[in-house]
Amino acid sequence: MAAERDGDGERELSFYRRLPKVELHAHLNGSISSATMKKLTAQKPCLQIQNGMTVIDKGKKRTLDECFQMFQIIYQITTRPEDILLITKDVIKEFADDGVKYLELRSTPREEKSTGTVCSGF
């Protein structure tokens, strides 16, 4: 009986994964995958950013403050227009791979004095 339920659960999960999806309010910096973060940090070894600083592993818990600290790291590694292009392409591809057919992706370019990033560069 339990095996039968597991089979039903797998079919149901497969069904949901195949459904077309709509994302109406995704933030670019909040949608960066761990794979994209690794690409960016590899391009900037001088920052000495460790993987554990940028990824919340499944099942791992962090405080809200710790989660928001990741955005400070994101601002440090997205200092060039090429970085923004990379994360934008990756985020759009990853949403599409997840079955998202319509995506409203938001971003607010901001100055980051510590890196010299200015809004006019984007």
Summarize the confidence of residues 13-18 as an average pLDDT: 91
Strand, helix or coil for residue 7:
helix
Mean pLDDT for all residues in the chain: 83
16-75 tens-digit pLDDT: 989 999 999 999 999 999 899 889 888 888 887 766 666 666 677 888 888 888 888 888
Q: Count CB neighbours of 75 within 10 A.
A: 16
